[in-house]
C-alpha cells in the first residue's frame, strides 16, 4: 500500500463508488502497463475489486475499493494523520 502510485489509486477510489480504468488512468497520468500492474497488486491484496465486461461491443474495466480495502485504507490514513500530527507538535 505504501507505493505512491498505489496510494494515489486508493485515494482516487476513496471518493467514488466506481471508476472506469480509462478515467482513472487519465486522472493519475499513469501508463496502461503501470496502472494494470498496480491494480493487480491491490486486487491480490484484497483492497480493490475489478469488474471486466463488454458494453456496446467495447471492453470496459470498472474499479472500486472493496469493503475491506475501504476500511484498511481509512485505518492507514488515520495512522498517517497521527504520525504527521505528532511531528508537528
Hey, where are the domains in the chain?
Answer: 4-88
Q: Is the pTM of this model over 0.95?
A: no
Cell reading at 58: 467495447
The predicted pLDDT at position 89 comes to 64
**Structure confidence by residue, pLDDT tens digits, 33-78:** 999 999 999 999 999 999 999 988 889 999 999 999 999 999 999 9
Q: How far apart, in whole angstroms, are the C-alpha atoms of residue 59 and residue 78?
A: 37
User: Which residues on neighbouring strands pair with residue 20, listed in sequence order?
Assistant: 62
The mean per-residue pLDDT over the stretch 75-83 comes to 92
Was domain 4-88 assigned CATH 3.30.470.10?
no
Sign (positive or negative) of CA dihedral 84, 85, 86, 88: positive
Residue 1, pLDDT above cutoff 90: no
pLDDT higher than 80, residue 88? no
Amino acid at each position: 500500500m505504501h507505493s505512491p502510485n498505489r496510494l494515489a489509486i486508493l485515494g482516487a477510489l476513496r471518493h467514488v463508488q466506481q471508476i472506469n480504468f480509462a478515467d482513472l488512468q487519465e486522472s493519475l497520468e499513469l501508463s496502461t502497463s503501470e496502472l494494470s500492474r498496480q491494480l493487480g497488486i491491490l486486487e491480490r491484496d484484497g483492497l480493490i475489486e475489478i469488474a471486466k465486461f463488454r458494453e456496446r461491443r467495447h471492453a470496459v474495466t470498472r474499479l472500486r475499493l472493496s469493503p475491506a480495502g475501504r476500511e484498511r485504507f481509512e485505518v492507514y490514513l488515520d495512522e498517517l494523520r497521527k504520525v504527521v500530527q505528532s511531528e508537528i507538535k
